[in-house]
Amino acid sequence: MPIANMRDLLREARAQNRAVGAFSVSSIDMITGVVRAAEALNTPVILQVAQVRLPASPLPVIGAAMRAAARDASVPVAVHLDHGMTVDCIRQALDEGFTSVMFDGSHLSMEENIAQTKAVVEMAKPYGAAVEAEIGRVGKTETGAALTAVCADPDEGVRFARETGVDALAVAIGNAHGVYEGAPVLRFDVLEKMYAVCDTPLVLHGGTGISDEDFRRCISLGMNKINIATASFMAVNQAAQGVPEYFEMVKRMSAAAENVARHHIGVFGVRKAEEA
């Protein structure tokens, strides 16, 4: 089937009060594992790769594999650039046929984040691609480097969504990438305010380490896309330990990525058949 667009997946998820799992991938075994999980649960997913991971998985190579897997899948699968930091990389992803991109301007001032996000939204339009942006700042970078978390401001969020026209808005509510030190404390009050005033589907980054109960509460308060990366990378790495035969190792790595995706899709909500 055609590669899905994140915009459509989020619209459907919002109507069904669930979230779409966005799983970071860096290799063919991970891609196939995530797609198998989506097919088994008959639920759309997003395959994503972050700009910082491209030295390990070059964009044209991983992009081609992600797109091929999405086209082959029996359920809608979107192909997304996570945490795009530079216009060059975002343009390359659009040229490669990614159906959505994230521009991460969370390190910029609000005015500059709005201005640069607007430019990315304009750039993505001729491709028909969806755009995600971030307000506030999620703790830690994608690679686990320290970064002070800044909670999003709902009033600024409404203005940001209106002025930029983004399709999805990542909101920092105390979440962090990588492994949490202690249980995460999410600001549900902030999320509740944001949901009350903002129509744009919201995105939760830093899914690894968040409890199933907190995921469900986030979804009930408007999170329609949830990102999972570290949990998959750790599970795949663990599965590879001590396996003496290469193809057996690849099989186990793929099964590990599948299991992580299956669990999370189950928690985020499976697609309701009558509305599919």
Q: Of 91, 149, 159, which is closest to residue 119 (Cα–Cα)?
A: 91
CA distances from 200 to 53, 100, 190, 195 (A): 27, 15, 15, 8
C-beta of 42: minimal distance to ligand 13P in Å? 24
Q: Which of 32, 43, 208, 254 binds ligand 13P (CB under 6 A)?
A: 208
Residue 82 annotated as catalytic: yes
Does residue 112 contact residue 105 with C-beta atoms inside 8 Å?
A: yes
DSSP string, 93-131: HHHTT-SEEEE--TTS-HHHHHHHHHHHHHHHGGGT-EE
Query: What kind and span of H or E run contains 26?
Result: none
Region class of 101: left (phi > 0), else alpha (psi between -120 and 50), else beta: beta
Residues of span 103-142 touching ligand 13P by CB under 6 A: 142
Interface region with ligand 13P, contact rule CB under 6 A, candidates 28-36, 118-126, 205-213, 214-222: 205-213
Does residue 169 contact residue 135 with C-beta atoms inside 8 Å?
A: yes
Residues of span 8-37 touching ligand 13P by CB under 6 A: 24
Nearer to ligand 13P, 18 or 205 (CB): 205
Number of residues that bind ligand 13P (CB under 6 A): 16
Residue 230 in the binding site for ligand 13P (CB under 6 A) = yes
Nearer to ligand 13P, 36 or 53 (CB): 53
**By the criterion CB under 6 A, which residues form the site for ligand 13P?**
24, 50, 82-83, 142, 177-178, 205-208, 227-231
